[in-house]
């Protein structure tokens, strides 16, 4: 039998398989996003149940099969109990992992996104969650090559220095002259553009130092959601839970 593969990973999706098994989608440090089979994990006496919970960060021992990996063991590094005990944090974690699972290619290592994801889980509950999530998603989009253009018009290249228009299909900001007559766009104030630039540029641990009014943060959150829908080419279902809690 081949030597087991050892890697660190965060569980981002799970679903039942056969009578007692589960398939997990795991974002790993060394292999990127992979699908893994855990045999018998749904049995009450399974020793793997503890380290194979959603949003849990674990050391994993794997065998690679023809179509997917098989999990043969592991140990918890951090279960992030705050995420699981707070409905709002749980909702945002679901949203983030749904985006992550949709946007990441399979078996392609991305150390920057992995480190940011682990840091995000550590910081959830200590920094305003919508603000933290917007920072993370902007960084994710940048690393994945999908960052919307915020500094200049996507059509003419003119530097954005005043209120502009944002069009997800076009890929970002447009000046008013280029945006006239286009559909599916929203006006984006220059102060929102500048806040998004700050969120993108700052280190994650310092994001809480930016004071953002709730109405501005929710504008950014909704703008990014609409943009992500265009990138992923489908609605992101987990946003509904967040909006229910927010009362939107």
Q: 45 is written with which tokens? A: 């006496």
User: Out of 5-9, 77-81, 161-165, 241-245, which region has the weakest mean confidence (pLDDT)?
Assistant: 241-245
CATH number of this structure's domain 82-246, picked from the four choices 1.10.150.530, 2.40.50.140, 3.40.50.150, 1.20.1440.120: 1.20.1440.120
**Cβ atoms of 210 and 164 closer than 8 Å:** no
Confidence of residue 7 (pLDDT cuts 50, 70, 90): very high
% of the chain residues with pLDDT over 70: 99
pTM over 0.95: no
Give pLDDT, residue 163: 95
Give pLDDT, residue 248: 62
Fold (CATH) for 5-79? OB fold (Dihydrolipoamide Acetyltransferase, E2P) (2.40.50)
**Is 80 exceeded by the pLDDT of residue 2?**
no
Q: Could you give the CA distance from residue 67 to residue 34 in angstroms, rounded to a whole number?
A: 10
Q: 40 is written with which tokens? A: 């018998």
Q: Could you give the CA distance from residue 245 to residue 248 in angstroms, rounded to a whole number?
A: 8
For the residues 196-203, what does the mean pLDDT come to?
95
**Is 70 exceeded by the pLDDT of residue 211?**
yes
Q: For the sheet with 185-188, list strands across it.
A: 172-174, 164-167, 185-188
**Is 80 exceeded by the pLDDT of residue 26?**
yes
Give pLDDT, residue 133: 97
Evaluate the CA torsion angle 246, 99, 9, 53 in order and state its sign: positive
| Averaged pLDDT of the chain | 94
Tell me if 5-79 shares its fold with 82-246. Answer: no
**Is 70 exceeded by the pLDDT of residue 1?**
no
**Is 90 exceeded by the pLDDT of residue 78?**
yes
- Higher pLDDT residue, 141 or 181? 141
What is the tens place of the pLDDT at every residue in 86-108? 999 999 999 999 999 999 999 99
Give pLDDT, residue 59: 97
Confidence of residue 67 (pLDDT cuts 50, 70, 90): confident
For the residues 213-241, what does the mean pLDDT come to?
95
Give pLDDT, residue 179: 86
Q: Could you give the CA distance from residue 224 to residue 141 in angstroms, rounded to a whole number?
A: 10
What is the tens place of the pLDDT at every residue in 35-64? 999 999 999 889 898 899 999 999 999 999
Q: Name the residue ranges covered by the structural domains of the chain.
A: 5-79, 82-246
% of the chain residues with pLDDT over 90: 88
Q: Could you give the CA distance from residue 153 to residue 138 in angstroms, rounded to a whole number?
A: 18
């Amino acid at each position: 039998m081949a030597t087991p593969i050892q890697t660190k990973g965060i569980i981002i999706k799970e679903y039942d398989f056969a009578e007692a098994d589960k398939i997990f989608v795991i974002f790993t440090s060394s292999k990127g996003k992979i699908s893994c089979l855990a045999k018998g994990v749904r049995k009450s006496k399974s020793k793997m149940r503890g380290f194979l919970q959603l949003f849990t960060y674990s050391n994993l021992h794997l065998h690679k099969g023809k179509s997917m990996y098989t999990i043969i063991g592991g140990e918890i590094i951090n279960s992030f109990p705050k995420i699981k005990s707070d409905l709002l944090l749980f909702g945002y974690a679901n949203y983030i992992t749904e985006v992550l699972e949709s946007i990441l290619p399979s078996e392609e290592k991305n150390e920057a996104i992995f480190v940011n994801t682990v840091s995000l889980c550590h910081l959830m509950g200590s920094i305003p969650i919508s603000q933290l999530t917007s920072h993370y998603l902007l960084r994710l989009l940048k690393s994945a090559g999908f960052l919307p253009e915020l500094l200049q018009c996507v059509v003419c290249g003119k530097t954005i220095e005043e209120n502009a228009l944002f069009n997800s299909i076009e890929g970002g900001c447009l000046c008013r002259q280029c945006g006239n007559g286009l559909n599916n766009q929203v006006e984006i104030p220059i102060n929102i553009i500048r806040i998004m630039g700050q969120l993108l540029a700052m280190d994650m641990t310092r994001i809480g130092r930016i004071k953002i009014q709730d109405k501005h943060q929710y504008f950014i959150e909704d703008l990014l959601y609409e943009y992500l829908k265009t990138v992923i080419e489908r609605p992101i279902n987990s946003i509904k839970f967040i909006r229910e809690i927010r009362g939107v």
